[in-house]
């Protein structure tokens, strides 16, 4: 069996701080900490986790394909059972430990501050009663005609693009509902970037109380109408209505008024000749230390989260997961994040070696190298994507899909209708 994880370890050990977490003895130690006991068998936890990562690297293929990767050393059913025996908490602990080890390889700062991105997205999964009850489905779909969809809040490191943590929840969950979990990963001096959903008064007040900075587009309901270009300090009073995502005690503990900085600038949009107006709200109040131009440039970085989410959902197939129970879906999500961070580690190593930015290293090329590497693999020069700042493309699809109608009724009534048509023919 090709050892892709071993290949990653071999490359990453050439860094000043070796990455030890992926060694089998360490993985077994993590599972023992969570009380997992296993017999001496082929599919013990370290081997099963190795195969689980390989499964994601290959495009989240079927369990039968994993059997082929292992040269038929076990059956597809045996692998599926071994995966189901893994405690979800231990799988997530392994993913978090990998994240911590890999993230330490490449910290980079903005004006002395660690910068993080937060964004929300969603992913789908099979239509089972358990998953429907846990996550729900979009309201525009009739019962039996849709799939469960989960809401996912993700925290990225802006410098490396690595996932620091992710929190799945039911579909109808606001991004701020789990913001307290994000705050647990922040420390004084950090800068948090996000979209306008995170620019509420209560969230900015909480960040100031933690001595953490935020830079967000101002919410459209609050955006001022005066002026085309300004940089000013405003005093925002406390709202009378408590947000639903805070307890009364938490809201009462917030101050009656907070100072915020509002920046409005005309900026050039990549690929367009015209400029557009953006309005930012930030807790970076010192205008000399944090000039408006640099804050505006920093705010652009939040769009990197969209690219990172596309790598997760499209390239690593997070968009539609395969497992049919809540516990299995959570394990599958954890291994997708673990795999994503391993690819990011290879990209970081290649960027350092090739003297370029990590964002220009091809994610797909790094993924291809990792999926085929063994313990003695040499990291060759990966593809460096060209800068396409002035590219402008319409959001249209050229290739036609099959012209089948959408399912608007459950499958069983549709089957009966076909049977009736066949009897009448």
Q: Which residues have C-beta within 8 Å of that of residue 19, sequence separation ≥ 6?
A: 8, 9, 12, 13, 101, 102, 105, 345
Domain count, the chain: 1
* Cβ-contact 198, 179 below 8 angstroms: yes
What is the pLDDT of the chain when averaged over all its residues? Answer: 87
Q: Per the domain annotation, does 32 fall within a domain?
A: yes
Distance CA(316)–CA(293), nearest Å, equals 36
Whether residue 370 has pLDDT greater than 80: yes
Find the helix or strand (DSSP H, E) in which 258 lies: strand 257-268
Q: Phi then psi for 49, rounded to 5 degrees?
A: -65, -40
pLDDT band of 3, cuts 50, 70, 90: very low
In a domain, 227, yes or no: no
Q: Cα 295–298–301 angle (5° rounding)?
A: 155
Cβ-in-10-Å burial (0-12, 13-18, 19+) of 196 comes to middle
Residue 316 lies in a domain: no
Helix (H, G, I), strand (E, B), or coil: what is residue 304?
helix
Residue 12 has pLDDT above 50, yes or no: no
Look up residue 21 and give its two tokens.
Answer: 């977490």
Q: Does residue 221 contact residue 283 with C-beta atoms inside 8 Å? A: no
Of 369, 314, 358, 351, the C-alpha closest to 336 is: 314
77, part of any domain? yes
Backbone angles phi, psi at 20, to 5 degrees: -100, -15
Write down the pLDDT at residue 10: 44
pLDDT digits (tens, 9 = 90+) for 246-291: 999 999 999 999 999 999 988 766 555 667 788 999 999 999 999 9
Binned at pLDDT 50, 70 and 90, residue 15 comes out as very low
Adjacent-strand bridge partners of 64: none
Res 102 pLDDT > 70: yes
CB-CB contact of 80 with 119 (8 Å)? no
Question: Is the separation of the CB atoms in 288 and 195 below 8 Å?
Answer: no
Whole domain around residue 27: which residue ranges? 4-104+326-372
* Cα 94 to Cα 109: distance, rounded to the nearest angstrom: 26
More confident call, 414 vs 124: 124
Report which DSSP code applies to 290: S
Q: Are strands 149-157 and 213-217 parallel, antiparallel or unpaired?
A: unpaired
How far is the C-alpha of 303 from the C-alpha of 70, rounded, in Å?
39
Percent of the chain scoring above 90 in pLDDT: 61
Q: In this prediction, what percent of the chain has a pLDDT beyond 70?
A: 90
- Taking 3-state DSSP, the helix, strand and coil percentages for the chain, each rounded to the nearest 5, stand at 40, 15, 40
User: Looking at per-residue confidence, does 5 or 114 come out higher?
Assistant: 114
Say if 181 falls within a structural domain: no
Helices vs. strands in the chain: H and E counts, helices first? 15, 8
Model confidence pTM above 0.85: yes
Say if residue 33's pLDDT is above 50.
yes
86, part of any domain: yes
Residue 244 belongs to some domain of the structure:
no
Angle 15-315-138 (CA atoms, 0-180°, nearest 5)? Answer: 130
- The lowest-confidence range among 292-306, 309-323, 393-407 is 393-407
Residue 84 within a domain: yes
**What's the DSSP call for residue 385?**
P
């Amino acid at each position: 069996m090709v050892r892709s994880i071993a290949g990653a370890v071999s490359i990453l050990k050439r860094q000043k701080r070796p990455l030890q977490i992926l060694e089998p003895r360490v993985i077994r130690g993590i599972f023992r900490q969570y009380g997992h006991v296993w017999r001496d068998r082929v599919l013990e936890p370290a081997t099963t986790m190795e195969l689980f990562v390989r499964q994601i690297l290959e495009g989240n293929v079927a369990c039968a394909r994993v059997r082929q990767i292992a040269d038929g050393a076990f059956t597809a059913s045996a692998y599926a059972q071994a995966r189901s025996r893994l405690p979800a908490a231990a799988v997530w602990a392994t993913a978090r430990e990998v994240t911590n080890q890999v993230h330490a390889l490449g910290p980079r700062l903005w004006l002395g501050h660690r910068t993080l991105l937060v964004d929300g997205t969603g992913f789908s999964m099979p239509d089972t009663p358990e998953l429907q009850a846990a996550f729900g489905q979009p309201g525009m779909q009739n019962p039996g005609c849709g799939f469960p969809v989960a809401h996912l809040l993700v925290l990225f490191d802006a410098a490396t693009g690595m996932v620091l943590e992710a929190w799945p929840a039911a579909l109808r969950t606001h991004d701020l509902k789990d913001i307290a979990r994000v705050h647990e990963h922040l420390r004084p001096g950090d800068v948090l970037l996000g979209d306008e959903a995170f620019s509420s008064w209560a969230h900015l007040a909480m960040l100031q109380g933690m001595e953490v900075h935020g830079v967000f587009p101002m919410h459209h309901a609050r955006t001022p109408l005066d002026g085309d270009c300004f940089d000013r300090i405003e005093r925002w009073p406390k709202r009378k209505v408590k947000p639903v995502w805070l307890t009364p005690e938490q809201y009462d503990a917030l101050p009656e008024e907070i100072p915020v900085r509002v920046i409005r600038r005309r900026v050039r949009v990549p690929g367009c000749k015209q400029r557009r107006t953006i309005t930012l709200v930030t807790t970076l109040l010192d205008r000399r230390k944090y000039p408006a131009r640099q804050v505006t440039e920093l705010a652009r970085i939040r769009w990197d989260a969209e690219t990172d989410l596309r790598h997760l959902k499209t390239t690593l197939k997070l968009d539609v997961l395969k497992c049919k129970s809540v516990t299995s879906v959570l394990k599958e999500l954890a291994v997708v994040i673990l795999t994503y961070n391993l690819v990011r580690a290879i990209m970081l190593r290649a960027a350092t070696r090739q003297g370029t930015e990590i964002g220009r290293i091809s994610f797909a090329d790094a993924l291809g190298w990792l999926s085929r590497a063994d313990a003695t693999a040499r990291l060759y020069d990966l593809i460096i994507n060209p800068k396409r700042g002035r590219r402008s493309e319409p959001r249209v699809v050229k290739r036609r899909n099959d012209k089948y109608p959408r399912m608007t009724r459950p499958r069983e009534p549709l089957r009966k209708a076909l049977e009736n048509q066949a009897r009448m023919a």
